[in-house]
Structure 1
Amino acid sequence: MFIIDPCSNRITPVPSKKFNELGFTERQHLQEWLEHHPEALSTGKDDELLIIQKEFDGFDDTRERLDLLAIDKSGNLVIIENKLDDSGRDVIWQALKYAGYCANLKKLQVVEIFQRYLNKKAQLEGGEAAHADKILVEFLQVDDLESMQINTQKSQRLIFVAANYRKEVTNTALWLSQFGISCQCFKATPYQAADQLFLSIEQIIPPPEVSDFMIGIMDKEDEEKSTTNELKHRHRLRLEFWQKVLDGLHASSCNLYNNISPSKENWLPARPGIPGVSYVLIFGKNEVRVELYIYHPETEKNMMIFQQLKEQQDSIEKYFGAHLDWQPLPNRKACRIQYAMPVDGYDKANWPEMVQWLIEHIVRLEEAMKKPLEQVKLALGKTV
């Protein structure tokens, strides 16, 4: 790591440090940093992690506890083991034991584990605990708890974090990866420049140049796995429903979805040409919804866009013709403005009304947001 001095056109190295030199400990510091910023271990927006427990010790007949337990966007449990300046020799064996314990956890047990974590956080912070099932439904982008696929067979992932790794650890991690066991090693290095401290976290196993290739192979294997009859049924329903919606949209004044194809997912996005902003149609089991979804690559700009639109809430809602649900989503790297209608979505007798409702309200939302989004686009251009 170097400091750039534009005036002298020179760079100055920032000296790396050891965690123990700076007085940092595994539990009080590294673990806390990763708990509150799990995106440090994400390799992209599709690899987002949600921490669901810390120092988890809910294993039968053992007093052992894993550092952090997370879930990824595919519903896989992620065992995160943190070490400081040295990985030690036994960290792989330790994590494999935890993965074996966690492999037996059923869906409702995972929800209960997450709820206990949320309850403890709320107690410490003096607030009201959020609902674990609602957060998981939102995070996994599914209709309800029943449609979640969590902790399926052989899906557990291992993540290791340390400043230095012993050769036996890296060799074993690479070897396990050949058998479909997801092992990632992240190198965490603290730096100090004068009175400023920095932390660099980079993935070293698998090497970045082969990571995408390995992920591609794993994705292909996952795709080839047979899914449940319920999921197949829902996919067929969604494809059929979205085709009806798109047919109606093509005959309307809305051009957002002219080049969009039907999807097996429960959401159908369209982009208006502003970075990080999408219009989204939602087809759920219990509701249909239109929304403006804000997910800018630069996290701080999400709230800037949201706040700029929020300042015009009265005029936007007047133009739209109803009160909108404004959701800043502070625990995620996104914001959302939505309007929903409750309905029995899987009853095809309701589909004509649902299709008409979605078309009418996405047209109204686009019209209501047109001028405010033009102002947002100008503001984003000024901040580039």
Structure 2
Amino acid sequence: MSSPLRRIRQGSGKNDNASGAGEQMPVDLGQMKKVRIRDIWKHEEHEFTPWLASEENFGKLADALGLELQVEGVEVPVGPFSADILAKDNSENFVIVENQFGKTDHDHLGKVLTYAATLDASAVVWIAERFTNEHRKAIEWLNDHTSEGLGLYAVELVLWQIDNSKPAIQYNVLSSPSEIVKQAMAVKSGGPITEGRKLQLDFWTMFREALLERKIVSSAQTPRPQYWFDVALGRSNIHLSNIADTYNGRIGVRVYIGNKIADMALPQLEAQRSTIEQEIGEPLQWNPNPDTKDKVILLDRKVDLNDRSKWPEYVSWLAERVGKFKKAFEPRVKKLILSQGEGPEPSA
């Protein structure tokens, strides 16, 4: 008597194709190829740098780096030279971005170090089409041997095209400060670390891990021993600012609107209050401190941050709200009209 397995095999035959694909349909795939940077931007200073410095494009670079950055200036004078882009991180430290078409060279390596020293920058981002092994090793060596107050990033810029499609940009971060070094930089920039600030650092470290594990954000800032932890919303002067208030025992998420745009942005968002609260599923506090120049839209709750056994529940609650806030506010923030004659941000 045949075994069941043998009978199954014997039964396999021409009928097996009945439930299969039969004749295989041809698959039409496109051809992916690299595009030279100069085929898109003819001039680095006059075309590429302004393009990169725009809010949407610079935000994509910041995401690739895992940093929260805001452009302060373009072609900023530094002695006889000019830094391509001068930005600030969320601790108001200077970050320099230096672009280069083609292959890296000693001239640009010297420039990035000169700019860092002159402007006392906390980070330098060197972007090029191709890094030589020597320059990549130089950046890695500097990250290992310079002070914890300076981080260097080597970023390879690649343009891809499928058949005749529009080119798409890719940032390959070849070298960056280690997470340990970035955290040390963050702690150092915040001054002496007290017991309360150490608690905040540990809480934000757990929170950051939850955001990334749940894919709520693709990248997140390095945790710092401070009251807040920011998440970008795609435009300058407005972001999600999460809070861990050890003094009053509260955690929460808030849309933080800087005073430069608050008078224009807040009314546009308040006009959609009912819909936004329906999407989030909870009532929010709109402008709870009307006398301040910066404005917030807040959702918070009472907690006991000294009881670390409750942190997993606190972190889960906060991460879930961040996801809802991001989903509700990010597309609306991109459509805000923030100056005379300005239209909404173009769709990505």
Task: Please give the TM-score of this superposition, normalised by the length of structure 1.
Answer: 0.45
The structure with more radius of gyration:
2
Tell me which protein shows more strand as a share of its residues: 2
Task: Please give the TM-score of this superposition, normalised by the length of structure 2.
Answer: 0.49
